[in-house]
Amino acid sequence: MDAVDLDRRHRTYDGWIPPTVAALLLEYGHLRVLRDRAGAGDWFCAHRLARAAADQGEALALLEPFVATGWMPALRTVAGMLAEWDRVGEAVALLSGPAGSGDRRAALQLAPLLARLGRIDEVVALLGPRAADPSSAEILVEVTCGHGRDAEIAALIPAVGVGATDPFGRGSSDAWNTVPLHATLLERQGRVDEAAGLLRRHVHVDGVMYADHAQQLARLLARHGREAELRAFAADGGEEYALFALADHLEGRHRVGEAVETLRRAAGVPADPHVALHLAELLVRHGRRAEAIEVLRPVPHTMGGDPEWIMRPLCRLLADEGRPDEALAHIDDFYARHGGTVGERLWERAEVHARCGRPAEVVADIRAAGPVTRYVGDALERLLPGHDLGIEYTDDPEDEALDGTSAGAIARAERLVRRGEPDRAVALLRDRLDGPKVLRREHL
């Protein structure tokens, strides 16, 4: 193998088991298939086995043939594993050559490792010249915290421009958004008023609210106990970010009742779903689950937009409280009021059953629902792995559109693995993803 061929296979899966299928092979215990494919030079299979290996030496041996080619994904993966095992010096040695030669991703991975070893001068030398790159600047700011280099780092990263800090690069603005980094550096130098002022000036610019700035300002005020300013910010344009920071601040000072009332007043009618969810999570943390359920119960019916996402935490709470029938009734009522597909309703009900350890009820629901799309069927099988759910599939146009495509082949292979037929899955992928076969099929 060589790095060029590995890059091509990594991109096309030609001759390799795709990563989602390799993950399922490991999950379902098909180690023989993984070992065979890893031995044949399949990166995704070798990587999965290495991650699962109990012995560090065995893990490194599985990946060594790939590392020996100089292929960067393998080098970065092994460096990450070495760092996890506290073998940071070895990880640094592995990445130093590529980073020094200009590999951006190697440099970004190397800098935090150097910082772990206390080699801050090398971090600054590595990332300082690259500080016009947003990722490099963010890591540089992060890993130099506590080393007394904040003023120096502030001089290295791009200055805040005049006008809007537009994250999409349009108009007369910064090339990218440096406000949060400069605010962080000012705060670390004890210049809290300046940091807060910088963020305030950039919360609302030209009629646009910058959520990251608002959230950072709210958290800064909370960290420094500036409760009056935080309340004022919440009341005047800070929106949910200031409100949540205020509630968390109050909770952290054991003023839970005040935090609850602050959020309850702001939830309003029709309910703000984000505030309602934050309030429910606060109540759950303090053992007030019944109240949390009552907070969430009306929200899907009074909010705008797509309410499914708020229904799920409500149903999980009901299931965890031993009230699955209420959760199921809520799901049925929701779909009766708001519409939706049979498959969506089936999956929501199945999640409640699975959470309560009731696979038989899932099977009964599936039989009652009749055939479902491959998408829904695959989601159900992932929800209850190892159970024969007896799913029947529809002739769905979207499913048919995947026939003959790589995505369709991968989906079918995943299904075969979940059904205990790994060899058929490998054969299918070999036929559908093998480069020469695909070329012959498409051009002859």
User: If you average pLDDT over residues 29-46, what whole number do you get?
Assistant: 95
Element (H, E) at 205: strand 204-205
For residues 275 and 404, the model is more confident at 275
Contact between residue 183 and residue 201 where contact means Cβ atoms under 8 Å apart: no
Structure tokens that stand for 64 in this block: 């060594």
Is it the case that residue 167 has pLDDT exceeding 60? no
The Cα 69–Cα 47 span in angstroms is: 15
Can you give the pLDDT at residue 337? 83
Is it the case that residue 176 has pLDDT exceeding 80? no
User: Partners of 209 in the beta sheet?
Assistant: 204
User: If you average pLDDT over residues 256-273, what whole number do you get?
Assistant: 84
Q: Which of 56, 126, 43, 44 is nearest to 90 (CA)?
A: 56
User: If you average pLDDT over residues 61-67, what whole number do you get?
Assistant: 97
Can you give the pLDDT at residue 164? 44
For residues 25 and 309, the model is more confident at 25
When pLDDT is cut at 50, 70 and 90, the band that residue 396 belongs to is: low
The Cα 89–Cα 189 span in angstroms is: 31
For residues 174 and 314, the model is more confident at 314
pTM: 0.83
The Cα 69–Cα 2 span in angstroms is: 5
DSSP state of 253: T
When pLDDT is cut at 50, 70 and 90, the band that residue 410 belongs to is: confident
The Cα 273–Cα 258 span in angstroms is: 20
Can you give the pLDDT at residue 144? 97
Can you give the pLDDT at residue 301? 80
Is it the case that residue 264 has pLDDT exceeding 70? yes
DSSP state of 208: E
For residues 357 and 395, the model is more confident at 357
In the chain, % helix, strand, coil (3-state, to 5) comes to 70, 0, 30
Is it the case that residue 123 has pLDDT exceeding 80? yes
> How much of the chain exceeds pLDDT 70, in percent?
90
When pLDDT is cut at 50, 70 and 90, the band that residue 304 belongs to is: low
